Amino acid sequence: MRSDAVFKGTQQAPHRSLFNALGLTEEEMNRPLIGIVSSYNEIVPGHMNIDKLVEAVKLGVAMAGGTPRVFPAIAVCDGIAMGHTGMKYSLVTRDLIADSTECMALAHQFDGLVMIPNCDKNVPGLLMAAARVNIPTIFVSGGPMLAGKVAGCKTSLSSMFEAVGAYAAGKITEEQLKEYEAKTCPTCGSCSGMYTANSMNCLTEALGMGLRGNGTIPAVYSERIKLAKHAGMQIMELVKKDIKPRDIMTEKAFMNALTVDMALGCSTNSMLHLPAIAREAGVELNVDIANEISARTPNLCHLAPAGHTYIEELNEAGGVYAVMNELNKKNLLNTDVLTVTGKTMAENIEGCENMNTDVIRPIDNPYSTTGGIAVLKGNLAPDSCVVKRSAVVPEMMVHEGPARVFDCEEDAIAAIKGGKIVAGDVVVIRYEGPKGGPGMREMLNPTSAIAGMGLGSSVALITDGRFSGASRGASIGHVCPEAAVGGPIALVEEGDLIKINIPENKLELAVSDEELAARKAKWQPREPKVTTGYLARYAKMVSDSCKGAVLEK
């Protein structure tokens, strides 16, 4: 056992004395040592229930003969961080979480780990850590929030942000806005649509790193406490059989995750996180393969913000396993892969039927024959950019319009709310990429303002930053190369014609190569926005978004 390095032998007497200080008995020191990574805190709604799940996991571990010890992981609430300097500190925490978890796991020689994340960056951050540390590991998330209800209609966080835009446009009253504020987020949990947190929790099941229901059982259901107990018990089986993350997170498993991503219509942030996790697992995952997988994978779900169903309804319909069972009817998955259940994916999804064909479309009657995410290329994004195709209205799938150029998010929001953006415009927000931001902020405020003001079916938004999973519409992010390194997005001028063709995976700036070369010759790098602290170090080390915005080795 790995924990022999701290438990066994006369040389470890000083170590045992410190475990005695913790109150551990001799019996506990003769059992496998299991680290429980808890992202509980009192500032993130998705994490306020995790203390209950930690206790359930601890009980499960002890019931199965292990010694559980808890240590923390940080987490940022993207919703609270949105629209101000705090959003610069969201994506960057993914690497802090992976690094600090690696330090704790290896410093204390745990035999196995149970990861309990829930929100946008600590799910992929802990998956990265799991792949890097590579000791037996299982995931159990905090679970999704229940949908809110306003005026008889279900709502989620995207509804709240769009209500702000509707109020700015005079479409709702201040009293109605306050009703949204009071009722949109009714419980703890990760926000109730297919946003980034729920996307990554669902994809944890598809990767084989979480038990059935990990991505969909609501946070407030007692069933999630049972899931946590089972996860605690199952880690002991993984330790006994020495089944490690890299045995599970293989290239085939990542292909499965991308396929399920397309079927569910997950957040575009998955195109940042999956390559980053794969890299830690020793798997090269180029975002270009997304279009190849999308071409053969039907989009089966239109969860908020793409539609009017929520994670709780996906759970009732059979969850991620039911989606995978639908996909397997056309042999779209690698079902021979190993999972944390100790069984193959084929064994896991057998008999997992679709209980609601309005929530999970049958494989022969999809929302579209192609997947929910598209990677575009062209002279405006030579390396790539990403759009959540399933959340784009039909009339915006092909669009041409004049560029309205802004060098930061705040200036764009002021123009949108000031009525300066009109139907047909293409809003360009640049110098918000991984290096330029720094930190690659999400653009939920401008996309929500566009939607709330009734421009969602006539205005596109393009950025080298990224979008919240709550964004909808023709929101094209991750433009690469970014403006800060002189990418073509830095050369766009006010009024330039931009051509978007999502079905053909194209994004073009209607400017000649000669003119672009002349602009490039005049372009000068901007002074860094941040020169001290972690963000300054991050900006120097971070890779392009098309490589997962990872810290370069």
Burial class (CB in 10 A: 0-12, 13-18, 19+), 258: buried
468 is catalytic: yes
Distances (CA, A) of 232 to 51, 74, 132, 184, 504: 14, 21, 21, 33, 47
Q: Please check whether residue 287 is in contact with residue 373, taking contact to mean a CB–CB distance below 8 angstroms.
A: no
Distance CA 202, CA 320 (A): 6
- Per the structure block, which two tokens stand in for 492? 């766009």
Separation of alpha carbons 444 and 414, rounded Å: 14
Give CA–CA dist 120/303, Å, rounded.
Answer: 17
Token pair listed for 48: 């306020």
Neighbours of 53 (CB within 10 A): 28
CA distances from 31 to 34, 239, 243 (A): 9, 11, 18
Q: What single DSSP character describes residue 551?
A: B
Instruction: With residue 150 as reference, give the H or E element that holds it.
Output: strand 148-150
Q: Residue 471 contacts by C-beta under 8 Å, 6 or more apart in sequence?
A: 158, 305, 388, 391, 442, 443, 444, 447, 448
Asked if the peptide bond before residue 525 counts as cis, ω within 30 degrees of 0, the response is no
Do 117 and 39 form a contact (C-beta atoms < 8 A)? yes
141, 384, 458, 468: the active-site residue: 468
Catalytically active residues are 468
